[in-house]
Amino acid sequence: MADGGFTRLPGGSVVVALSLPRPHGSDGVPGSRVRVLVHAANRQRALTRLRNLGLRSVYLRGNTEPPTPDEVTAVLHHPDGLVWRATPTCLGELWHPIRALLRPRTPARPHPAGAG
């Protein structure tokens, strides 16, 4: 379950905003949260987009934290219509594409001895 909300746009589509725990395997402090924004035809399709990406237990109950006008603008200007950033937000942090959140983190490999 997630805190969040939605707003209906004049064209009939919606922007859904959810505050979720940071997925395992991504950068960040354990227990931290992210704010995810999804633009879709309706609320159910927005949640389906997230579930198809592997965020299986995502539900929107109520409208306690709807997206702000700045958040709506951010997601509408992104080509995928699906962005995130850490919460609480740090000053100057930009919105990231969802693939940056969901890709597995790979440790840096050491250089082989004698290479160079």
Q: What is the pLDDT of residue 31?
A: 64
Q: Tell me if 32 sits within 8 A of 89, measured CB to CB.
A: no
Residue 111 pLDDT > 70: no
Q: What is the pLDDT of residue 47?
A: 93
Q: What is the pLDDT of residue 104?
A: 56
Using DSSP bridges, classify how beta strands 3-8 and 96-97 pair: parallel, antiparallel or unpaired: unpaired
Per-residue model confidence as pLDDT tens digits over 17-62:
998 887 664 555 556 788 999 999 999 999 999 999 888 778 888 8
Radius of gyration of the chain from its Cα atoms, rounded to whole angstroms: 16
Query: How far is the C-alpha of 112 from the C-alpha of 7, rounded, in Å?
Result: 53
- As beta bridge partners, residue 83 has 37, 97
35 Cβ neighbours under 8 A, 6+ residues apart: 17, 18, 19, 71, 84, 85, 86, 87, 89
pTM for the whole thing? 0.78
Domain boundaries, the chain: 3-102
Q: What is the pLDDT of residue 6?
A: 95
Per-residue model confidence as pLDDT tens digits over 54-98:
887 788 888 999 999 999 999 999 999 999 998 776 667 889 888
